[in-house]
């Protein structure tokens, strides 16, 4: 199979990958780059476990051909915390019982980041709408929504201080 070199900026770091044209972004992240925080849940773009941010927007990596996001900024779950310091969204998920099995969590957290970047003070209904593409079979969503609202408050507090 013909492969060609392609450049990506993943979690702020430029990297070069040998790419076949049929490869999905999910395959590149998981198999080539070892970033297994991005999950395969369905392969048809219906569960959201493979969500990553491309230029800040949520994208289903299982449906995205890797060649289409060359040279773009890609954020995976591995790039969100700063060292050992969790991002406020991650911290809120931990503190509010929003994580059970955790398989949906990376995608859920990245969808939340995209939401809060655009709408820092969402209503409960807006949170529900923003996360409707991320399936969770464990929690019933109650504590996830609580966590997102708590994270929004926390981030707003941080903003006031700075």
Partner 1 sequence: MIQEFSVVGKRLPRIGAAERATGAAQYVADMKLPGMLIGRVLLSPHPHAKILKVDKSKAEKLPGVEAVIAMEDVPRKAYTRYPYDMMAPAGVTVMEVKEHHEFYEDERIFNDKVRFVGEPVAAVAAINESIAEMALELIEVEYEILPAVFDPEEAMKAEAPIIHDSVSHNIRAHLPVTFSAGDVNKGFQEADHIVEESFRTYKQKHCQLEPSVCVAHFDLSGRLTIWSPSQTPHVLKKKIAYIFGLPEGMVRWLTPIYIGGAFGGRQSLTNEPICVALAAKAAGKPVKLIYTREEDFVTTESRQPICYTFKLGVKSDGTITAIQVKTFTDAGAYYSHSGATTGMSLQQCLWVYRCDNVAGEANIVYTNTPVSGGMRGYGNPQAMFALEQIIDMAAEKIGMDPLEFRLRNARGTGEPTAVYPPTPIENSALHECIELAAQRIGWSEKRTSRKDGSKRQGVGMASVQHWTGAAPTLVEHSSAFIKLNGGGSANLCVSSCDLGQNILGTLAQIAAEELGLQADDINIVTGDTDVTMFDSGTYGSRSLYGAGNAVLGAARQAKKQLLERASEELNAAPEELEVRNRRVYVRTTPERSMPIADVVTNATFNSVGQCLDITGVYTWSTLNQSANFNATFAEVEVDTETGEVKVIKVVIAHDIGRAINPAIVEGQLEGGAVQGIGYTLTENFVVDMDTGICLSNNFETYRIPTSLDSPEIEVILVERPVPSGPFGAKGVGEAGGVGMAAAIANAIYNAVGVRIKELPITPEKILKALKAK
Q: What is the DSSP string of 101-123?
A: S-SSHHHHHHHHHHHHHH-SS--
Q: Which of 41, 58, 88, 122 binds partner 1 (CB under 8 A)?
A: 41
18 binds partner 1 (CB under 8 A): no
Distance in angstroms (rounded) separating the CA atoms of residues 4 and 67? 10
Residue that the structure tokens 């392609």 belong to = 6
Q: Are 6 and 17 in contact (CB under 8 A)?
A: yes
Q: Among 43-51, 53-61, 67-75, 113-121, which window interacts with partner 1 (CB under 8 A)?
A: 43-51
75 binds partner 1 (CB under 8 A): no
State which residue, 71 or 98, has the beta carbon closest to partner 1. Answer: 98
Q: Are 58 and 131 in contact (CB under 8 A)?
A: no
63 binds partner 1 (CB under 8 A): no
104 binds partner 1 (CB under 8 A): yes
Measured at the CA of 39, the angle between CA 117 and CA 5, to 5 degrees, comes to 85
Q: Which residues sit at the interface with partner 1, rule CB under 8 A?
A: 1, 30, 34-44, 46-47, 49, 76-78, 80-81, 86, 90-91, 93-95, 97, 99-106, 109, 127-129, 131-145
């Amino acid at each position: 199979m013909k492969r060609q070199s392609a450049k990506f900026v993943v979690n702020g770091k430029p990297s070069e990958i040998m790419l076949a044209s049929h490869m999905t972004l999910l395959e590149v992240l998981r198999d080539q780059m070892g970033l297994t925080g991005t999950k395969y849940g369905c392969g048809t773009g219906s569960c959201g476990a493979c969500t990553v941010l491309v230029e800040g927007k949520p994208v289903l990596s299982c449906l995205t051909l890797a060649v289409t996001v060359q040279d773009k900024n890609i954020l995976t779950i591995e790039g969100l915390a700063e060292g050992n310091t969790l991002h406020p969204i991650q911290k809120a998920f931990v503190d509010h019982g929003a994580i059970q099995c955790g398989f949906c969590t990376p995608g859920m957290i990245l969808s939340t980041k995209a939401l809060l970047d655009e709408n820092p003070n969402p209503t409960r209904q807006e949170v529900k709408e923003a996360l409707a593409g991320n399936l969770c079979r464990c929690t019933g969503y109650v504590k996830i929504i609580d966590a997102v609202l708590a994270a929004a408050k926390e981030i707003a507090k941080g903003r006031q201080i700075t």
